Amino acid sequence: MSINRRNFIMATGIAAAASSAPGMLRAQTGSARVVVVGGGFGGATAAKYLKHWGGNKVEVTLIDPKTRHTSCVMSNLVLNNELALNDLRFGYGDLTSKYGVQIIKDTVSRIDPGGRVLTLKNQAPVNYDMLVLAAGISFKKPKGWNARKNPHAWIAGNQTNLLKKQLQAMPAGGTFVMTIPRSPYRCPPGPYERACLVADMVKSNGGGRVVILDANDDIQAEKETFSRAYSQLYGNIVEYYPGAETGFVDSNAGVVETSLGDFAGDVINIIPTQRAGGLVRKAGLTDGGLWAPVDVTTYESSLAGYEDIHIIGDAQGSGQPKSAHMANAQAKICADAILRKVASQPTDHPERLQNITTNSACYSPITRNTASWLTAVFQYDIDSNAMALAHIAEAGEWTRDNYSEMFDWANNLFGDTWG
Ligand SMILES: Cc1cc2nc3c(=O)[nH]c(=O)nc-3n(C[C@H](O)[C@H](O)[C@H](O)COP(=O)(O)OP(=O)(O)OC[C@H]3O[C@@H](n4cnc5c(N)ncnc54)[C@H](O)[C@@H]3O)c2cc1C
């Protein structure tokens, strides 16, 4: 479970990683079969806390096609060889042995909300009383794009290793081109952080160019910090182009066509427009949009006809940042709400509503041994029936201490999710 390189120390406890649940369940009556789809940050946390808090009142099954989840968090450090992908892989053994979560290794291909049944790719259908969907994101692919030539590396795994290999093979003086989609996308500071790390590699390799083609009008997170890093640390390397909407990608020629013109690169990293995964969209849970609307006090779908279907993590569309830390926090609100329903308790008790908070945290490596950070706290606002930003803070500088704390923070989050 723990990452064994550099100063990774397996930290116990959840203080840095988790927002608190709105209240502990005291289940009196009822039982339910809860099925969780997706064993990433949202799904694994939900499955764990449903059993941890609900005990025998719930039967919890987690379905994921893989035996281990590969974390996107910290995966930019695979690119510069500070970590290996294996350091970021987490299995589901503890969820079963410590909490009694049942695991099915398969892909859910269809949801029947009326019949409350899931069709699996390889195995028999699975019935549920309550469903938690935490199946992450999918991409809107630009025309011409071939991800095997121009990796996204925005879902960690083979794509991350492919981008790493391409960066290692990039000639001195070469050009790295990265596209950033319009917000909202997974991990707001992530692309800017990646640009810093690649610029750091390019700098150590005798120079070159890092071209950032941002579809947004400005840097989306930690603007001051990244702007300063680009000018002070990587002045001759990073070129930042706001308002550069990606059009056709000529993967054979290595050229990205944008609203600002064409850009050629030796290594091209396409981070495409994002939306909820296909399972959630095909079930009609996004109502034709990119993300699934939810009631933020329970994470149940806010659309009619989808009772007892909850969507957490990146796929939901509540306006909160799409981060692993946030998915972990939402999972606890969702687990608490489901357990209250099982116990025939209301989920809209004023005391519970007042205590619904979530938070997000992202550490961003700026060089191979320094980092900055950003955190945001959201509080439920009864008038707007939405999560409102209550507090935001950022490091404002990149330091070695932040870099070291980043590993403690990540290990807390990993431990609270899969441990
Ligand atoms: C480079 C990078 C850096 C990041 N850094 C940070 C950071 O510092 N801090 C932070 O908080 N966040 C960070 N993030 C964001 C974070 O990784 C995501 O927000 C988080 O993974 C979302 O969790 P999720 O549970 O919604 O989806 P995921 O973690 O993507 O999990 C989805 C799971 O669903 C499974 N699945 C998909 N479809 C199906 C199906 N049909 N049937 C069954 N299972 C299915 C997948 O196999 C997967 O295991 C970063 C992201 C990137 C790309």
The predicted pLDDT at position 140 comes to 97
Q: Is residue 203 part of a domain?
A: yes
Do residue 216 and residue 297 come from a single domain?
Answer: no
Find out whether 23 and 341 touch, Cβ atoms under 8 Å.
no
**Domain range enclosing 347:** 32-136+277-418
CA 34–ligand 1 middle distance (angstroms): 21
Q: Mind listing the pLDDT tens digit for each residue in 315-371?
A: 999 999 999 999 999 999 999 999 999 999 999 999 999 999 999 999 999 999 999
Q: How far apart are CA 320 and CA 309, in angstroms?
A: 19
For residue 399, name the pLDDT band (cuts at 50, 70, 90).
very high
Name the domain boundary from 273, 296, 312.
273
Q: Mind listing the pLDDT tens digit for each residue in 288-299?
A: 999 999 999 999
The predicted pLDDT at position 25 comes to 35
Q: What average pLDDT does the structure give for the chain?
A: 93
Do residue 294 and residue 401 come from a single domain?
Answer: yes
- pTM here? 0.94
Do residue 62 and residue 116 come from a single domain?
Answer: yes
For residue 31, name the pLDDT band (cuts at 50, 70, 90).
confident
In the predicted model, what is the mean pLDDT of residues 389-394?
96
Q: Kindly report the CATH number assigned to the domain that includes residue 257.
A: 3.50.50.60
The predicted pLDDT at position 292 comes to 98
Pick from 19, 35, 41, 78 the residue to mutate for probing ligand 1's pocket: most ligand atoms within 8 Å of its CB: 41
The predicted pLDDT at position 12 comes to 25
DSSP-assigned beta bridge partners for residue 184: none
For residue 66, give every residue at least 6 positions away whose Cβ sits within 8 Å of its Cβ, in sequence order, or none. Answer: 39, 105
Do residue 151 and residue 231 come from a single domain?
Answer: yes
Do residue 246 and residue 282 come from a single domain?
Answer: no
Do residue 380 and residue 395 come from a single domain?
Answer: yes
Q: How far apart are CA 312 and CA 28, in angstroms?
A: 26
Name the domain boundary from 273, 297, 324.
273
Is pLDDT of 152 > 90?
yes
Do residue 221 and residue 121 come from a single domain?
Answer: no
CA 188–ligand 1 middle distance (angstroms): 13
User: How far apart, in Å, are the Cα atoms of 183 and each of 90, 130, 134, 158, 289?
Assistant: 28, 31, 20, 25, 14
| Residue predicted with more confidence, 12 or 296 | 296
Is pLDDT of 187 > 60?
yes
Percent of the chain whose predicted confidence (pLDDT) is above 90: 92
Ligand 1, pocket residues at CB < 6 Å: 37-43, 63-66, 69, 72-73, 75-76, 107-108, 134-136, 154, 186-187, 190, 277, 279, 313-315, 322-325, 327, 361-363
Residues in the chain: 419
Is pLDDT of 282 > 90?
yes
The predicted pLDDT at position 24 comes to 34
The predicted pLDDT at position 20 comes to 40
Is pLDDT of 305 > 90?
yes
Within 13 Å, how many C-alpha atoms sit on residue 9's CB side?
A: 7
Do residue 312 and residue 408 come from a single domain?
Answer: yes
Q: How many CB atoms lie within 10 A of CB 30?
A: 14
CA 283–ligand 1 middle distance (angstroms): 20
Do residue 109 and residue 211 come from a single domain?
Answer: no
Q: Is residue 317 part of a domain?
A: yes
For residue 16, name the pLDDT band (cuts at 50, 70, 90).
very low
The predicted pLDDT at position 297 comes to 98
Q: Mind listing the pLDDT tens digit for each residue in 206-251?
A: 999 999 999 999 999 999 999 999 999 999 999 999 999 999 999 9
CA 136–ligand 1 middle distance (angstroms): 5
Q: How far apart are CA 41 and CA 418, in angstroms?
A: 8
For residue 4, name the pLDDT band (cuts at 50, 70, 90).
very low
Do residue 88 and residue 179 come from a single domain?
Answer: no
Is pLDDT of 10 > 60?
no
Atom 4, ligand 1: residue with shortest CA distance: 73
Do residue 68 and residue 171 come from a single domain?
Answer: no
Q: What domain count does the chain have?
A: 2
DSSP 219-247: -SSSHHHHHHIIIIITTTTEEEETT--EE
The predicted pLDDT at position 37 comes to 98
Atom 21, ligand 1: residue with shortest CA distance: 324
Q: Which two tokens stand for residue 308?
A: 């007892």
Do residue 408 and residue 296 come from a single domain?
Answer: yes
Buried b (16+ CB within 10 A) or exposed e, 276-312: bbebbbebebbeeebbbbbebbbbbbbbeebebbbbb
CA 139–ligand 1 middle distance (angstroms): 13
CA 323–ligand 1 middle distance (angstroms): 8
Q: Is residue 189 part of a domain?
A: yes
Name the domain boundary from 257, 273, 289.
273
